[in-house]
A and B are shown apart, each in its own frame.
Chain A
């Protein structure tokens, strides 16, 4: 092959490519090639790889008898030579050798004189015939802070050719036509055009990009800019995250990222947020692990497990337990500190996510923490404090309406006989036992308190060009809206140190994040008790003990505040450490390795005193329980990489080869201590008479991959990006562990074409990009392919039992998502208006699901590769405009909207599968089979439904497919206005969606529970046209019909909303004041989260749904000081 490329340019290029390949082999395998050369009289024969110049010259001396003389100031070993010549003259050989070197040579008799270019350039030598118009230039590229920008690109504008700066930022250019410009660019900095004008040494200082197009985009193992990106990546800056008074950085993304839908499950601090990045890729089943649809999270280079640490064995109190209903346990993101976040990048399409290959099926979210910057040591203090209130309340029946409902229900049900029978008195406790004149507004009492929130962050940072550091600490505390003293407290520490050798060739960067979180929340979400009957008894007796309103010695109600005596506590420690070593072997060639380690541990306890149980069991040792759990998660990851970048003629090439070795271990223990003689003994399990291990789970996950990426950029006009990987995961059975994934991305910056420039004057930037590729998913539980038995925990005949863990299928394999994306990005008026449009189409086949099984199979699911193919398709639009850009005023707006569409495109064998009655090919997977509600029957007063056979018996043949119960579109509008010292930021979130209304969560109107006031529109007498069924407490037919109603489309309603998500207003002290106080910067500000919500949804909140605590309206005021 090599002999075909004999033309010098091609050969040179080939040599570079070939060099990369060789070096890769060297680094990966540790094998060094050696030089072979043979002498042959006056001609030279050489074949060397990376040999120092001096050694090469010695070899030529040996072969020819010529003698070399060097300039004093040159470093003979700095330049490594790779050349292959066969029987050529010494002149030819030397020309080859010195091509691209900053030296020249002269042959005088048998002496070769070598000079540096700088010296030679004082008396320019003839390189081409037009010697007057050509010069050579040397220079250095630095950031404004003075940090050398190794790898910066320097391009001669007129020829398009260029070079890369070395590790110290130094470069030299030959054959530069005089009076041309050079374009200097570096990722994340605004490019700069510098005139040459015959200068011999140029110092270029680049400023950090303020323009969105040139901002740095982190694409996993490599970085690029929005301008040159061939994939779809959205960046949310840390400063925008820090403007939101939230403790979970993920919640700060709501409404900001097209294609990313986040819904809070509860307004409780630390609650889980459900995430869908571009829809749902798999068919949901009851047993499906929830994180199967989660994106891959990377925090400072270390994969971050998005599943909750809360123990399934004892649950997480008000936050629920993983895989169990609304709560899902505590969000692991609550143990990250929002104040330390520098930026969050959301990678969406195949081109962006393929570098994470197997785990990028649902997209990738990269969280990067703050780093130190060059400059004087700076101290920064930022404190805000405020309080939260409930965002919305539900309109409920008042006392009279409630009592009337109850009496009417008893009348409708014909329960008068029982109502008047003293035997059944306690069945009607709200009417016959409780004081029916007493009125409590439970909503007011339970969720109308304010929750204090304080957040303080301090950091010290600074550095020189060789050394930068940042040390930060933070503390935050947030309360809950319930009465009582509940807090979620977080203390954090963040350290980042970067160091580089004097010549900048060796760089180390070390980051350590540590967070300690103490979550001290009630053991249940008390929000569900707002529907207590308005005449329910008082919570406490006069002596301060819980009031059970006993009748005949037994309690007539479940006092909700019994739960407040149960103490739930979760302490989480989270450590993430990452070390990156980077060594520049040659200009453009880097060897890099990242070492990551993370350790998260949660210690939980839930203590239940016996008084928290309904009497008469209130002094029963068996009911005094202390449940304890520890969940411990460790991850290490090692990622060696080789990176090569070069300028080849008019193009630049980046090649990356790497490998990943990762291991996660998780250890969970849950124990239950009971049988305490007294309540005061509960904290110490040693005092328990009965101690049980509830579960003890161990899991190990290993992951291994090899990847390669090549990026090719021709004149910043044509962009190509290819990635390929081979990944292995221990979650698959023997022989099925490995999968291959790849992606291609291309971009065309058509605004750089002269004919377009001419045609559309206003267009300052235009890019068309297309990407296609495959990514995989292995986000399932470990060991699913193994057939195992678990200890049962109790003994029978003294023998501890064993039970089967699952139904085993050893044959499942990688889930594969095929992603297609097209994007158009346009900039107008010097990029003051940027419009970007993307279309995506993700198809997920070979779905890794928990395949639903009927109960008769023994277990309700089995891990399975479903042949179903789900398509998530959508359009995303972002429009960013700089509306006003004047000396004192700056106003910027950004609007984004996403239209997701979901469709089951194929499912061979669906009719014979367990999904036959759940999904239809061609329809959205969010559509549900439901009975069709046809209103309240004016004669019977009961809900009626479409009934095909007309026999009144509803079967699943009567069910229809509902509209998709999901978002039709969603997005946000961000606006940022600064005027002199003032700055105002507003974020408005909007969602158009269908959801379940409150009737889906509440008992039948008429039952012993308060109701939303809309039930007043109930049926009263034959002939009534009503929207609500007649009041009824219970009787066979009404409850049966009501259960059909809850399974009908009658409970599916519009749950759209517009929310003023965030407002931040800040004022910077004028300079003369600051100078007076010797402060660099002083800022006071107000932050407000979830200010108000516009919605037609009746109930607490359309986002959280159900009877969970709705999102909290948080108002805070703060102060930031820089010294």
Chain B
């Protein structure tokens, strides 16, 4: 040893070896790919943080048509011509837990994205305070929006309020009452956070011309009015609906029914714009409008049901403006009626947006809330506002029960094939069993009160064993 080595050489070798190992450690440390953005940097910039929120609107626009068609098939709004099992299951009220899971999975994915935005915004000093405030308000509003639809379809649902998969994967269902508690809390916070003007993508100033594609304080107020109505807090529902109705600077009923569903119509409280580029204006227009006989697939496979057609009073302008028909050239010729609220089948020239919240519903919410509080005069006024626009005479209802029936009917013909209103109305007003026990057999199914709730997807019950199934599935 003493001849071969000198201590400094050992040290030198060791240092070289250490440098070499360090270099190898570096070698396997790689940068993030250029095509993706690391989450922390997404929330370090106003534009990218906004993009993380607005991307959810881009994705959820497809839900409008499916929610409308599914609930339309389930209830008495649509006639089915599809041979797809998924559509037949809706139509004959015979859903199974292994079909039609996309709404459930999509919605929970949106909620994940919403929670990710909320987590990215919390304690964030890199973003402009007004951006943080607006985005946080939008996220809370949107979370309430989706929990509302989930609980109305599935009843008690798992309440996911963080992105932590170790918690979410084991969540049990939360009672509908607690879910509404969460919805109302989120909406109240959203009301205080959201701008009362429609905001543009760059800053929080008002858009000019007014572009109603991002939620505002008024969207939160309108949805809060609906949440209070559904939870039977009628006084509160009336207050919130009134706040929206009174904002006549932003919202007025369109006198011409053909203008209601145009983009940024005076009636719109919140709309979704189709993400660009696009060949279509709205999925609703593309998939409801029949330019031939109904198809056997999922899209363009339904027509307006006889029940709905017959529900229109004579002279109702909504029948002529919002419903159109296609007649075959065969003998005998057949006529199919289809929803025509959205009038553009396919076009890259964007004239229509998907309506999410509109003023007419607020009038009907207030009418119902007033009727429930026995303010029948106020009820009549609101109801007649809607009837007048449709070219109909004032309501003939005089008792509370008659008013409630009149409101249910008015909702049927005003809000048909919009996000499933009819289905939820039948259930929440307790009319589902009486109506569906007649309609379901006509559609080839057998009605059971259990079919009011959707089945929880079997996949999730298998994975999250804290989840339970709804009765009957």
Which residues of A line the B interface, CB within 8 A?
A: 2, 25, 28-29, 31, 33, 36-37, 47, 49, 84, 415, 418, 422-424, 426-427, 551-554, 615-616, 620, 622, 661, 674-675, 689-690, 692, 696-704, 706, 728-730, 734, 737-738, 782-783, 786-792, 794-805, 807-809, 852-860, 862, 912, 914, 916-918, 929, 953, 955-956, 1008, 1034-1037, 1039-1040, 1043, 1047
Nearest 10 pairs of A and B residues by beta carbon:
A858-B112, A801-B55, A794-B275, A1036-B94, A552-B328, A855-B105, A554-B292, A854-B460, A788-B36, A728-B28
Which A residues are in CB contact (< 8 Å) with B28? 702-704, 728-730, 737-738
The answer to whether B35 and A857 touch across the interface, beta carbons within 8 angstroms, is no
Decide if B328 touches A799 in the complex (CB within 8 Å).
no
B252 contacts chain A at the CB level, 8 A cutoff: no
A854 partner, pick from B12, B54, B211, B459, beta carbons under 8 A: B459
Closest chain B CB from A814 CB (angstroms): 12
Query: Does A675 contact B463, Cβ atoms closer than 8 Å?
Result: no
A788 CB contacts on chain B under 8 angstroms: 32-33, 36-39
Quote the shortest CB–CB distance from A286 to chain B (angstroms). 9
Within 8 Å by CB of B33, from A675, A700, A801, lies A700
Please measure, in the bound complex, the distance between the C-alpha atom of A551 and the C-alpha atom of B88, giving whole angstroms.
22
Instruction: From the candidates B38, B108, B296, name the one contacting A856 in the complex (CB within 8 A).
Output: B108
Q: Is B8 part of the binding interface, using a Cβ–Cβ cutoff of 8 Å? A: no
Inside 8 A of A804's CB, which chain B residues have their CB?
39, 52, 112-113, 116
- Given A790-B36, A797-B213 in contact, is the A858-B109 Cβ separation under 8 Å? yes
Judge whether B293 and A554 touch: CB under 8 Å.
yes
Can you give 12 contacting A-B residue pairs, CB < 8 Å? A31-B12, A47-B3, A552-B292, A730-B28, A786-B38, A787-B38, A788-B39, A803-B55, A858-B115, A955-B469, A1036-B445, A1039-B94
Provided the pairs A552-B329, A737-B29, A789-B39 are in contact, do residues A796 and B213 lie with their beta carbons within 8 angstroms? yes
User: Beta-carbon contacts of B309-348 to A below 8 Å, as 1s and 0s?
Assistant: 0000000000000000000111010100000000000101
Is A802 a contact of B37 with CB atoms below 8 Å? yes
Q: Which residues from chain B contact A862 at a C-beta distance below 8 Å?
A: 165
Give the CA-CA distance A789 to B112 in the complex, in Å: 13
Q: Which residues of A contact B459 (CB under 8 A)?
A: 854-855
Chain B residue contacts of A807, Cβ below 8 A: 112, 163, 165
Q: Which residues of A contact B278 (CB under 8 A)?
A: 794
Q: Which of B42-50, B376-384, B422-430 contacts A (4 or more CB under 8 A)?
A: B42-50
Whole-angstrom CA separation of A700 from B31 in the bound complex: 9
Residues of A within 8 A of B406 (CB): none
Interface residues of chain A: helix, strand, loop or mixed (majority): mixed
Give the residue of B52, B93, B169, B458 whose beta carbon is less than 8 angstroms from that of A789: B52
Enumerate chain B residues within 8 angstroms of A1040, measured Cβ to Cβ: 94, 96
Chain B 91-120 residues near chain A, CB threshold 8 A: 92-94, 96, 98-99, 101, 104-105, 108-109, 111-113, 115-116
Is the beta-carbon distance between A801 and B54 smaller than 8 angstroms? yes
Known contacts A31-B13, A853-B165, A786 near B275 by CB under 8 Å: no
Contact B168 A856 (CB under 8 A): yes
Q: Are B92 and A1035 in contact (CB under 8 A)?
A: yes
A916 and chain B: residue at smallest CB distance: B465
Check B158 for interface membership: any CB of A closer than 8 A: yes
Residue B349 is within 8 A (CB to CB) of chain A in the complex: no
Alpha-carbon separation in the docked complex, A616 to B329 (Å): 14
Interface size, B (range) = 35 or more
Do B464 and A422 touch across chains, with their CB atoms under 8 A apart?
no
CA distance A1008 to B329 in the complex (A): 25
| B92 proximity list for chain A (CB < 8 A) | 1034-1036
Contact A805 B36 (CB under 8 A): yes
A852 to B464, CA, bound (A): 10
CB-CB contacts below 8 Å: B60-94 with A? 81, 83, 85, 88-89, 92-94
Interface check B16, CB cutoff 8 A: yes
**Within 8 Å CB of B292, what residues of A?**
552-554, 615-616
Determine how close the nearest CB of chain B comes to the CB of A1051; give it in whole angstroms.
14
Whether the pair A853, B168 counts as a contact (CB closer than 8 A) is: yes
Which chain A residues lie closer than 8 Å to B241 at the CB level? none
**Is B232 at the interface (CB under 8 A from chain A)?**
no
Nearest residue, chain A, Cβ from B334: A423
Question: Which residues of chain A come closer than 8 Å to B52, judged between CB atoms?
Answer: 789, 801-804
* A446 CB → nearest B CB, Å: 21
Q: Which residue of A lies closest to B93 (CB)?
A: A1036
Contact B293 A427 (CB under 8 A): no
The total of interchain contacts (Cβ-Cβ below 8 angstroms) comes to 280
Contact B13 A25 (CB under 8 A): yes
Beta-carbon contact of A858 and B34 below 8 Å: no
Is B444's CB within 8 Å of the partner chain A?
Answer: yes
**A802 pairs with B48, CB closer than 8 A:** yes
B24 CB within 8 Å of chain A: yes
Known: A554-B293, A801-B54, A859-B109. A700 touches B464 (CB 8 A): no
**Most chain A CB neighbours (cut-off 10 Å) among B54, B94, B201:** B54
> Is there an interface contact between B25 and A737, defined as CB atoms closer than 8 Å?
yes
Residues in A with CB closer than 8 Å to B444 are: 415, 418, 1034-1036
Q: A703-B28, A787-B38, A808-B39 are in contact. List 6 more A-B contacts (CB 8 A).
A: A423-B334, A552-B329, A790-B37, A794-B58, A802-B42, A1043-B96
The distance in angstroms between the C-alpha atoms of A553 and B328, with both chains bound, is 7
CB–CB A783/B329 < 8 A: no
Contact of B54 among A29, A782, A787, A799 (CB under 8 A): A799
The contact of B465 among A28, A798, A917, by CB within 8 Å, is A917
Q: Is B415 part of the binding interface, using a Cβ–Cβ cutoff of 8 Å?
A: no
Min C-beta distance of B182 to chain A, whole Å: 15
Q: B57 near A: Cβ within 8 Å?
A: yes
User: Is there contact, CB below 8 Å, between B279 and A730?
Assistant: no
Residue of A nearest to B295 (CB): A554
* Nearest B-chain residue to A855, judged by Cβ: B105
Query: Chain A residues near B231 (CB, 8 Å)?
Result: none
Q: Provided the pairs A788-B32, A790-B36, A855-B460 are in contact, do residues A801 and B58 lie with their beta carbons within 8 angstroms?
A: yes
A30 CB, min distance to chain B CBs, angstroms: 9
Residues of B within 8 A of A1036 (CB): 92-94, 444-446
A855 adjacent to B108 (CB under 8 Å): yes
B32 and A786 form a contact (CB under 8 A):
yes
State how many angstroms separate the Cβ of A335 from the closest Cβ of chain B: 25
Q: Is B7 an interface residue (CB 8 A)?
A: no
Closest B-chain residue to A415, C-beta based? B444
**Which partner residue on chain B sits nearest A796 by CB separation?**
B54
Q: Is B467 an interface residue (CB 8 A)?
A: yes
Least CB distance, B98 to chain A, in whole angstroms = 6
A929 to B465, CA, bound (A): 15
CB atoms of B34 and A912 under 8 A apart = no
Query: Nearest-CB distance from B171 to chain A (Å)?
Result: 6
From B55, B279, B291, B461, contact of A792 by CB (8 A) = B55
CA distance A729 to B25 in the complex (A): 9
Over the window 166-192 of chain B, the binary record of Cβ atoms lying under 8 Å from chain A Cβ atoms (1 yes, 0 no) is: 001111000000000000000000000
Q: Are B214's CB and A797's CB within 8 A?
A: yes
Q: Cβ of B463: which chain A residues have Cβ within 8 Å of it?
A: 852-854, 914, 917
The residue on A at minimum CB distance from B332 is A422
Contact A551 B330, beta carbon cutoff 8 Å? yes
Across-interface contacts of A809 in B (CB, < 8 A)? 165
A700 to B4, CA, bound (A): 45
| Complexed CA–CA distance, A929 and B17 (Å) | 54
Among A697, A704, A808, which residue has its beta carbon within 8 angstroms of that of B24?
A: A704
With A and B bound together, what is the CA distance between A1035 and B85 in angstroms?
10
